[in-house]
Amino acid sequence: MSNGKSILPKVRFQNSMCWVIPSYKTLLKIYSFLQKHIQRKLIVLFFFLFFRNKHFCFISQNCLGQRFYLMQKQKYNSPTIGLWMYPKDFLSLSSNLEYYLSLSLEKSDSESIARNYPVGILVELRIFFQHYERYDIARKSFQTRAQRVTLDNVFLIMTDRDVFTDMDFEFFQKIVTNRKLLFTSNLNYMSANSIYLSRYSNEEQVGDLFTDYHELGKIKIMYLLYRILNVN
């Protein structure tokens, strides 16, 4: 009986230690969670401190511009909310913005059916309203916000997602404005208006930065954002 009693506390102690000390994999998960949480807080604070009084019109290839507005805590002064475009189409839109925004958006029935969400067309440009359930709502939102665009406040935002090519980068470079920004995973696409995200260096493109906006909450990235977004 005495032996049995002496063993029980040891067993309980060992079991409690197994519960108290997490595995290495668990520690990594905790670290990653805390790191992302802190970086999200940092980038939101960064936008609030430095850009809350800036009235940008973010013309964005995808939902990243929407994320910028949310971090600024400002209303959407751009039609490019809740949608995405292929790089070539976005660059064409950006290079002749006043013209394209003066047009009436039409619906592509075939592509809308194929993708199961609304797809609009401005002449030859396709606009994928991925976060809208109905075309009429997407069209109304696009046209209403297009009327809010102030060309003097336009800032172009794009990433190297969705089959970004060398020709697209050349096109990006030729757009006559310093108020433009490209997020890339490819060092070949670096310029004064590019930000390289090393996190995606082994991938063909950057990730979904609307969701993974913690990737922007790094000191070097915030410094580059401050420099690029403050150009006149």
pLDDT tens for the chain, 232 residues long, are: 445 555 444 445 455 555 567 788 888 888 888 999 999 999 999 999 999 999 999 999 999 999 999 999 999 999 999 999 999 999 999 999 999 999 999 999 999 999 999 999 999 999 999 999 999 999 999 999 999 999 999 999 999 999 999 999 999 999 999 999 999 999 999 999 999 999 999 999 999 999 999 999 999 999 999 999 998 7
Q: Do the domain assignments include residue 33?
A: no
pLDDT of residue 175: 96
Can you read off the two tokens belonging to residue 74? 């400002």
Return the DSSP state at 44.
H
Residue 151: CB partners within 8 Å, gap ≥ 6?
A: 57, 97, 98
The reply to whether 34 falls in a domain is no
Question: 139 CB contacts (<8 Å, ≥6 apart)?
Answer: 105, 107, 118, 120
Classify residue 19: in a domain, yes or no.
no
| Inside any domain, residue 7 | no
The span from the CA of 35 to the CA of 29, in Å, is 10
Q: Is residue 18 part of a domain?
A: no
Is 11 a domain residue? no
CA distance linking residue 27 with residue 37, whole number of Å: 15
- Is 92 among the domain residues? yes
The per-residue pLDDT for 20 is 67
pLDDT computed for residue 7 by the predictor: 46
Q: How far apart are CA 63 and CA 84, in angstroms?
A: 7
Nearest to 79 by CA among 52, 107, 95, 98: 98
Is residue 179, in this structure, part of any structural domain at all? yes
Report the candidate in 86, 135, 80 with the shortest Cα–Cα distance to residue 107: 135
Burial class (CB in 10 A: 0-12, 13-18, 19+), 27: exposed
Tally the domains of the chain: 1
Contact between residue 205 and residue 160 where contact means Cβ atoms under 8 Å apart = yes
Phi and psi, residue 62, nearest 5°: -150, -160
For residue 135, give its domain range.
39-229
